[in-house]
Structure 1
Amino acid sequence: MKTENYESSLMQVGGEPEILFALYQMGDCRLTDVMGKRGECGVDVDWSQDNRKIDVHKLINQFSEAFFAVDKDWNFTFLNKLACELLGRHCSDLIGKSIWTEFHEALGSAFDDEYHRAVEERKTVEFEEYYRPLKKWFHVRAFPGDEGLYVYFEDVSVKKVMESEIKRSHQLLSQAQVIANIGIWEWDVVNDEITWSDGAIRIGQHPQPTGSSHYFLNNFVHPEDRHLVLAAMQSALAGQPCDVEYRFLRPNGDTRVVHSQGMLLVDDGGSPVRMIGIAKDVTQRKKVEVQLRESEERYRTLVENSLNVIAVVDGIKWIYINKAGMKMFGAEHLDEITGRPVADFLHPDYRVMCKEQTRLVLVEQRLLHLTEIKWLTLQQQLVETEVIAVPLSYQGKSVVQLIIRDTSDRRQAQQLVMQSEKLSAVGQLAAGVAHEIRNPLTSLKGFLQVLRSDYEGAKLEYFDIMERELSRIELISGEMLMLAKPQAVTYEERKVQFLLQGVLALLETQAHLKSVEIVTEYYSNPLIRCVETAMKQVFVNLIKNAIEAMPHGGKLTIRIKESHQKALIQIEDEGCGIPEDILGKLGQPFITTKGEGTGLGLMVTQKIVKDHRGTIDFTSQVGVGTIVNVTIPGSEDVIKVSSAGA
């Protein structure tokens, strides 16, 4: 059909040829329902006489989209029923009225701009805009005509809300990935293509969002971890959970530790289709775990090698104790202590107090500072300590950590200081006394020699005795000076038996008078380096004390042994014994079991033994007797020690 014939035909349709002709030019297939237009709709136009007389109003009101037309003055010339419904107005109220007057809120909006652009540029426009008074989003298609503007529009508010929600969901998901430091990945198993989300790309810092599994393994997985990732992928394809931790290589050479989990999706036949999962950057967590392990190892090392006892108790039993604790309690194996009641190791006098203090720590979470507590070892030996109790959480339970300091050495040191102070005082006293004694002794010895010349015969032996005793007094006063002022001495090699024989010869008479039998057991005759007079003084003091401890007689046994290049001299009596409270204080001035004793003799004895790098200890039982053990280094050992000291 020719155009002029077609246009003349339209001029006769319903009196509204412009609208119909404009719709036809737009290729609107809805016209084919009544006209059968060929082209896009694929139907030949049937321009029979019946079809030329079309009710345009009825036709356009059948459209699923709203439609209106305005003239060149922007006055409404036509609105279909749906348009009036969407605009919330009656069609009769709008016909002949200006669109900008009736909907003045549209001025300055995209409606204003796009409608004018369509008219001015003579081109179709399409856009979406929100009209606030109606609170609706509209999708609009407008096209110009010779008589004005023709507009299709539809309410897309629901679609916009859905798009907004989808966009918001994507934003929330993206933010969640950033906050959780995770990314999402998807593996198209059929096409072997892995796609990474923005979060995953951020973790890996690589710009490429897709790639094959081979590309991923060879470019982003650490060579030493590729077998782990490959095994996880193969396991997932077999229906097992995908869970793997590996090192991710960034393009800049940095390495991140990634924990990846995924699940497999299959088709109706059970064949793998795709796998989806998440990847989490756990680098910081791994660093913290390493630091925590190192910290725990350092703490464990400190605890295990601490000189103080560190233990954990649950209020009743031992849970843990370090090496120092095992040593203090005399245990060789940990199970000798752990699992046993704490009360088994407490001195009975401290059990009630410790139970209450433990309750305070556990219930009130209170820190208890230094507390003096006495313990009993596995060998039932008493140990004095200071204890700090700290509330602690151990394996999810409230427990008490004990820090125990053995104060035995400190108390011994304090006793040594006190003894040193006493020695200093006694030494100063002894120096004064010795000085006052030695001056008269010189006079006495001089006059004794003068008197000796006037006597003859048997009476001369009395002079010999007096002279020997005066010499002994002089010797003792000289030894008293040793307490205040060190003397220059000469060490010589002497056999122990030789030293003891000289002493026994001197004390045999006293022993006989006391009905004391002296028995010697010489198992060896070690050679020692000593100051002869000083060492004899040691033996005199000890043997004389043993004789005096047996006022009603008894047996005195003297043994000589040799062990580990040391001479052991043992003196055992059957005397009255020494009480336990005095035994530990022997060697201190004024500590003695004798009624008129001063304790200075034993004090001098200990000093001499110490000067010879030896030891002396006492074992005694009241009513049974006392054993004194004196250990002196052998001659060769003393030479080595002296050389090392030089």
Structure 2
Amino acid sequence: NLQLLMDLTQLLVQMMIERKQNIAAQEASITSDKYLNLVVESSQDGFWLWEKGDIFTMSDRCAEIVSFSSEDFRPLPQAWLDRIHPQDFASVIRQLEDHMAGRLPNFSAEYRFLTRSGQWKWLLANAQIISRDKEHRPSQIAGTISDITERKQIEMDLLERESLYRSLVETSPCAIALTDLSGIVKFINPQGADLFGWDAARLIGQSGQILLHATEWGRLGLDFRSVLISGHPKQAEYTCAHRNGKTFIAEIHIAPIYDANRHLSGCICTAQDITTRKLMETELLQHRNHLEKLVEENIQALRISEERFAKAFTASPIAVSIATLEEGRYVEVNDAFCHLMGYAREEILGKLSRIIWHKPQNRDVFKQMIEEHFLVKDHEFQFVTRSGEVRIGLLSGQHIQIGTETFILSSISDITEKRRIDREISRLDRLNLIGEMAASIGHEIRNPMTTVRGLLQMLGSEALYQRDQDLFDLMIEELDRANSILSEFLSLAKDKHVDLLPSNLATIISSVTPLIKANAMPKDISVVFQMDPVPDLLLDSKEIRQLVFNLTQNGLEAMQPGGTLILRTYEDNGEVVLLVQDEGPGIEESILDKLGMPFVTSKEKGTGLGLSVCYRIAARHNATIEVKTGSQGTTFFVRFSLTNKM
């Protein structure tokens, strides 16, 4: 009995120990699960698990990344594969098949995935088969996905930036070379190879000293070491050696470059041939020294010369001014300058020259040109008068020294009218060519078109083709439209006969007034006629009616309902002027200079022939057409010289 009691006691103790161990194991398992869930939920990666029987579960983060729940992906795996970007699909399938077949230990791929919101996201997907069934088919697969869209965007930005920097280097007008810490060339752009006469590939691996004359090697070595030690860039002028043996002067800038860890890795060198500039500087310096010597020897003669210069300066018919180099502040202007700009002398003195530049920033460019070359001739620029009119001029400038201050002596020639005449001559030359071509082929095309039109009318009237009457009408309408374009082309002919008879411009406009009003009425546009008395001119009434109709039609087509179209005749500075003003959006600047050329138009279905005909009619009447346009509308001025007066 005692033995039996001891055995029972030992059994009870063993059972109590096993129970405690089971309780401890369960508590450890619960703790482990809590830690695992905490890791899953706090991770930026999404976790998923697929089990046999098409059981698919995802972590909250996984669902957040793809904008789907696990129930949305049915059937699997097709529902998931359908959302992979077509360009990435083949590589993903290949990786997946290799892992499924056991050729890869796990699956890993980067691809674009279409989320529920229609957004493409870059995903990094990793997966592994955890277990297989008896047939060796996967029975459980676990994996993670990470949203790497931001990383991919950064990578693409870096590639784009690298491409941009490479383009800047390879297309730069300056020679650019990279060296290591020993001065060995690691890279040189095509401009650098051309500057020194070398093939770029043959320069790589050689010392940069071979690009300089031997007398400069020592100085270059000292400057190179100075840059590496101080970390500061250095710029200097060196005598360089071309491969053909010739020498030239170059301005070379040496700066340190660093690797990603901010360790010094070499230098970047830029070079520019300044031989021409140095020669010019030398010539100008010699000229200046010569002038200074003359001043010292002939101070009395200079005083007389200054007096003569002051008189010539003031009375010169060319607009001349003196302004400070740095600020551009006017210290002296002549009468011709005041007349050209519209200012009184006391109004302009002390003002900055930027007030006459249409684009003030271009004054800095001109100043830089003066500083580099000391003399600039016939620089074309746009200037603004006091009234706000923008004109074109040729600006010449000279770097001068008066006492201790530096100034720019400049002169301006107004070429606005010359540029307008040049454009008009060019426009007329092109119109003449087109007109001659139109006259030579227009009749040859029109005759067979007339025959075709007649046959279409005959066939369309027969009972057999009554069902196709709409098609016959459309073909006849298109032939009539082509014939109308041919008629406008023929109007461009240079040698077209005109019947110039004494006529009054206001009377001719009155004859087409009903037609203009009829065209304006459906568009709810008001037409205002302001007919000031004007003298009779020698005009072809038919052509002038065509000109007025074309200009008003263009104005009506450019306007919105409720606008006002103005037609006016008046006399101005020995000319009779026809004004047509609309309230449309204005003419684009890109086509303004080409206005009047066939097929230059801003209208969807326009041919541009209407304005071409207007310019040709004006030319046959020795008249000119001017255009002023802006966001508030466009105004055409047709100016008839009173020399055409009867």
Is TM-score (shorter-chain normalized) higher than 0.5? no
TM-score where L is the length of structure 2: 0.43
